[in-house]
Amino acid sequence: MTGIDALFRGGVPVAIVHWRSGVAPCTVYHHAATETTSTRTTLIRIFERLDASLSCPDRVEDKSTEVRLTSLRPGTHTLVGGASRPTVTTTITIP
């Protein structure tokens, strides 16, 4: 991941997750998953589908998706982006 922006949309906490990946249709966003690793830390992972049967260009593009954080309780939380090294982090405070 290249970045995480934490904000509220209609009163719901969300993370806008940014990453770089191969171009479609070779590499296509599949889903995002969140995992609470401690009381105030949530890990966000991005999963993509790869189609190795296609002749794919050797290019990458910027991608982003919105992840709803509806399970977070009030307080300040650290959001950690995926398995990339170095990881990207940000915080969000739920009133």
Model pTM?
0.86
**Phi, psi of 48, deg, nearest 5:** -125, 160
* pLDDT 10s digits, 24-76: 888 889 999 998 888 899 999 999 998 878 888 888 899 999 999 999 999 99
CB distance 70 to 62 below 8 Å = no
pLDDT at 90 over 90: yes
Question: How many whole angstroms separate alpha carbon 84 and alpha carbon 14?
Answer: 20
The DSSP H or E segment spanning 40 is: none
The distance from CA 10 to its chain's CA centroid, rounded to whole angstroms, is: 20
Rounded Cα distance between 64 and 17, Å, is 5
Query: Residue 33 carries which side chain, given as an amino acid letter?
Result: A
Q: Please report the pLDDT score of residue 85 as a whole number.
A: 67
